[in-house]
Amino acid sequence: MAEKEYEEDDPFVLTDVSISGPEADASLVEMARVFIDEFARMGWDRDRILAMFRNPFYRGPHIAWRRWGDEFVQQLLDERIPGG
């Protein structure tokens, strides 16, 4: 693997941003929708996606599940995968 020196303006450096208030909730809801969409496109069914949200290994989805629970995730699944 190639190694390079760290550069202050490296566009690929991992960063995080902390937000709070209504913007945080809105971002978390949108993130949950994107996770559902991505995994549904890969062929995952509703049960497997819900299990992912419950699993702490999947940190992003799990944060949304801890915040709002199964009913919230089921509502988002209904938006993306009707009839389940």
Domain membership of residue 17 (yes or no) is: no
CA 27 – CA 12 distance, rounded (Å): 22
Domain membership of residue 50 (yes or no) is: yes
- Sequence-ordered alpha helix ranges (H) in 1-84: 22-41, 46-54, 59-80
Domain membership of residue 7 (yes or no) is: no
CA 45 – CA 84 distance, rounded (Å): 9
Q: How many domains does the chain contain in total?
A: 1
Domain membership of residue 73 (yes or no) is: yes
Q: What residues make up the domain containing 57?
A: 23-80
Domain membership of residue 58 (yes or no) is: yes
CA separation, residue 28 to residues 1, 5, 22, 33, 42 (Å)? 35, 34, 10, 9, 21
| Global confidence as pTM | 0.75
User: pLDDT for 9-38, tens place per residue?
Assistant: 777 766 766 777 888 889 999 999 999 999
Domain membership of residue 3 (yes or no) is: no
